[in-house]
Amino acid sequence: MSDNDTSGQQATADDWDAATNEQAAAQARPAEIFQPLGDSAKAAAMQDFDMILDIPVQMTVELGRTRISIRNLLQLAHGSIVELDTLAGEPMDVLVNGTLIAQGEVVVVNEKFGIRLTDIITPSERMRKLNR
User: What's the pLDDT at 85?
Assistant: 87
Q: Look at residue 102 in the predicted model and tell me its pLDDT.
A: 92
Sequence ranges of the domains in the chain? 3-52, 59-130
Nearest to 55 by CA among 106, 97, 118: 97
pLDDT of res. 27: 56
CA distance 45 to 82: 49
Question: What's at 118, amino acid-wise?
Answer: T
What whole-number distance in Å separates Cα of residue 132 and Cα of residue 94?
20
C-alpha span between 101 and 126 (Å, rounded): 8
The answer as to CATH 2.30.38.10 being correct for domain 59-130 is no
10-residue stretch averages of pLDDT, the chain, 132 residues long: 56 69 62 59 72 88 90 93 86 89 89 89 80 69
Contact assessment for residue 86 and residue 64, using Cβ atoms and an 8 Å cutoff: yes
Q: Determine if the pTM surpasses 0.85.
A: no
